A and B are shown apart, each in its own frame.
Chain A
Amino acid sequence: MAEEKKPLKVTIDNITIEVEQGTTILNAARRIGGDVAPPAMCYYSKLKNSGGKCRTCLVEVEAGSTVDPRPMPKLVASCRTNVMDGMIVKNITSEKVIDARNGVVEFLLINHPLDCPICDQAGECDLQNLSYDHGKEGTRYEFNRRTFEKYDLGPFIQLHMTRCIMCFRCVYTADQLTEKRVHGILDRGDHVEIATYIQKSLDHDFIGNVIDVCPVGALTDKTFRFKNRVWFLNPVDAHRDCPKCKGKATLWYRGDEVFRVTARKDQWGEVEDWICNECRFETKKTSDWIIEGPTKIDRHSVIAQGHYVGVQKPQEVLYDVLGGRKPKLLMNIHNVSEVNEPGRDLSKIEGPAHSTDFENE
């Protein structure tokens, strides 16, 4: 059986990495990190059976394995496809993948209300990030968008189905964290909806986690709704002695006031430890908590504000050096940078720099 545990070699976007048996392409790509990791709207590493539904993580498999080097005929969902030894995968170096991903983003957005200005998720929304990376400026969809009434699932959670992208994460969460799931999927096709049977309320000590797993603003924290924008808040790691959960959470401060409590999230926006409802909704005083220090900010963070500013098209040379991968600069560039566009003074551009500012030259 020793042979079974042999690490597998996989090449993703010209980067080779060794991973254990049973690793999915997505997790191997996450090991490499950066832009090589495909976006995931429905996959959640902490939830069993999640993934495969949103189709944003599609990748092209150029060679199945050393034993069988045939390419796979279709793009595959990287979150549900296991790595084979000698597999060659193309993610952002494949035109086909980018094209398909753009298509998926367009499909996800046609019925999304795009009410980001009034949505509590704005700033930490996976769909926002995804559409910034892969979406179009305008829409080609000219019909009425699908709408639903919003309603309360118990005292703490509000469901706004209009925003939902049907990732099924909340269903898996309820399935796997609670004894009795009372919400699920009704109907089918484009009128499918997440709902409870005859408007039951979600009631379980850990049900609040559905808010954290929701990639969009479909499930929101009623104790936080419309209280503040996430980018005005300062996240602080804290813990408390909780009899139900580990009590490790992030407090979101503005001034001295704790506006909300969430679970701690890792760099892929996934919850590290589930927290209970008491920690999340009922202990919103600094005195309830032992403060550890500011939360380390990463890619998915709400206060990585520079994320949306100054994304530029890098020069061809960089493209070659990186083996066809597109380097992306996520910082706000205030000075003229030789790497990016010699002779272009960014400080002369009004507001955030836009790709069109460069193309027109």
Chain B
Amino acid sequence: MDGVEGIRYYDVYRREGGYRSVEKALKTMSPDQVTEEVKKSGLRGRGGAGFPTGMKWSFIAKPDGVPRHLVCNADESEPGTFKDRYLMEFIPHLLIEGLIVSSYALGSNVTYIYIRGEYAWIIDILESAIEEARNAGWLGRNIQGSGFDCEIYVHRGAGAYICGEETALIESLEGKRGNPRIKPPFPAVKGAWERPTVVNNVETIAAVVPILNIGGEEYAKIGIGKSTGTKLISSCGNINKPGVYEIDMTISVEEFIYSGEYCGGIPNGKRLKACIPGGSSVPILPANLLLKTAKGDTRMMTYESLADGGFPKGSMMGSGGFIVLDEDQCIVRHTFTLARFYRHESCGQCSPCREGTGWMEKILYNIENGKGKSNDIDLLWDIQRKIEGNTICPLGDAAAWPVAAAIRHFRDEFEWHVQNPQECVKRNFGLGHYAEPLQTATA
């Protein structure tokens, strides 16, 4: 749809078939039927964890007389991920349409979009789109005569990565400091203002629209196995055509990187060294493990295939932030950059993350700047091991995984940095021998 001129505006969007799903849901379906349809579609959360959306919706507590809320997580701040931004910028009505249908399914009369504060111009786009939708009778009281009321409010974040974590997001939405809550209770039982709340990613909500339009079973036919439907991948790094691509999850990683339809290969005839397939928090994979799984199968762009081999030999689909590194990139420098980010974004609430992220950053800074010591690598490994799984929220894990994976797959590059302190400062790229020769697929 994004090829249509002016799709950002209501008139064009409606002419192209927009808001059909709202009509269908409100007039012919009960809220439970909508949830059932989403369940059938096999849609998995597009925010990173990949949890089945229909299941999440069915967990929401429904105590009498207590309002429920749907919150759309548009606090997209993972390095390498910028898919929601395009979606909201170019087809804001798709999100609003999805939100109305989802709100109907969940019984949320007041729905929020928690948007990243830096997306200032998108807030204007969304607000004017909401205004258009309201004027056309898709929002407000008694939508299209169905008796269902729904209001959507855009809440602007204040620049914290941690507020993308659902409980921190809820705290922030309530006007408090964005610290993650300790679970349980889960948001589905006690979320915003102690009311049952579902937090969904922008892309997940948008995917509800085609599910209702074509039916859950039909939607489930797209893709392979449990990876159903289409996924937006934001690719960046050393590729010819960085940008946001919508893929149906049936193509291989190799095709995605080298095909002219997608990333278009790696510029300047360089070779592929490594790739982070799902946003900065997921483990990095070296080229040989990226294109083929440890078992020798072709690695596909699906939730299961990317996770094949577990953390030692696989990675995750994550949020779809596809970062490609060519043979000139230094893994140590790259890991340091990520560690600096997580140190900066840790909320400071629980001790392993607060202290551990800072420690890792300092050690990585030393290694990168030729001041590393031989036991620093083991120390780093030990620190990440002690952060992972011991924190309140997944930010600790997200900080630990990239470091763990970098050491696991590129240990001798770290060692080279420690052993050649002067050289590693002078030339800012690591060892080239990880790079794979050009693959068969061509641009």
Chain B contacts of A187 at CB under 8 A?
A: 348
Could you tell me the distance between the alpha carbons of A177 and B337 in the complex, rounded to whole angstroms?
43
Which of A49-57, A118-126, A149-157, A244-252 participates in binding chain B? Answer: A49-57
| A232 touches B (CB below 8 Å) | no
| B351 touches A (CB below 8 Å) | yes
Q: What are the interface flags for A101-145 relative to B under an 8 Å C-beta threshold, 1 for contact and 0 otherwise?
A: 001101110110000000000000000000000000000110100
Q: How large is the interface on B (under 10, 10 to 19, 20 to 34, 35 or more residues)?
A: 20 to 34
| A185 touches B (CB below 8 Å) | yes
Could you tell me the distance between the alpha carbons of A356 and B350 in the complex, rounded to whole angstroms?
33
In angstroms, how far is the closest chain B Cβ from the Cβ of A137?
Answer: 16
Q: What are the interface flags for B225-247 relative to A under an 8 Å C-beta threshold, 1 for contact and 0 otherwise?
A: 00000000000000000000000
| A214 touches B (CB below 8 Å) | no
- Counted as pairs of residues, one from A and one from B, with CB atoms less than 8 Å apart, the total is 92
Chain B contacts of A55 at CB under 8 A?
A: 350-352, 390-392
Which of A104, A140, A190, A191 is the one whose CB lies under 8 Å from B379? Answer: A140
- Chain A positions 55-106 with a Cβ under 8 Å from a chain B Cβ: 55-56, 58, 74-75, 77, 80-81, 99-100, 103-104, 106
Q: Is the pair A188, B346 in contact by a Cβ cutoff of 8 Å?
A: yes
In angstroms, how far is the closest chain A Cβ from the Cβ of B302?
Answer: 23
Q: Is the pair B177, A107 in contact by a Cβ cutoff of 8 Å?
A: no
Which of B52-60, B78-86, B354-362 participates in binding chain A? Answer: B354-362
Could you tell me the distance between the alpha carbons of A51 and B182 in the complex, rounded to whole angstroms?
9
| A15 touches B (CB below 8 Å) | no
Chain B contacts of A218 at CB under 8 A?
A: none
Which of B162, B184, B392 is the one whose CB lies under 8 Å from A188? Answer: B162
Chain A contacts of B346 at CB under 8 A?
A: 188-190
| A165 touches B (CB below 8 Å) | yes
Chain B residues touching A, majority SS: helix
Could you tell me the distance between the alpha carbons of A166 and B352 in the complex, rounded to whole angstroms?
12
Which of B177, B348, B385, B389 is the one whose CB lies under 8 Å from A189? Answer: B348
Chain A contacts of B177 at CB under 8 A?
A: 184-185
| A336 touches B (CB below 8 Å) | no
Chain A contacts of B386 at CB under 8 A?
A: 99-100, 103-104, 106-107
Q: Is the pair A107, B392 in contact by a Cβ cutoff of 8 Å?
A: no
Interface centre among B162, B350, B389 (most CB of A within 10 A): B350
Which of A53, A56, A143, A168 is the one whose CB lies under 8 Å from B362? Answer: A143
Interchain residue pairs with CB less than 8 A apart (18): A52-B392, A55-B352, A55-B391, A55-B392, A58-B390, A77-B392, A100-B390, A107-B356, A108-B355, A166-B354, A188-B162, A188-B345, A188-B346, A188-B347, A189-B343, A189-B344, A190-B355, A192-B354
Given contacts A56-B351, A106-B386, A188-B347, 14 further A-B contacts (CB under 8 A): A52-B182, A52-B392, A53-B349, A80-B182, A99-B386, A100-B390, A103-B352, A103-B390, A166-B349, A184-B177, A185-B177, A188-B345, A188-B346, A189-B354
A residues near B (Cβ < 8 Å) are: 51-56, 58, 74-75, 77, 80-81, 99-100, 103-104, 106-108, 110-111, 140-141, 143, 165-166, 168, 184-185, 187-192
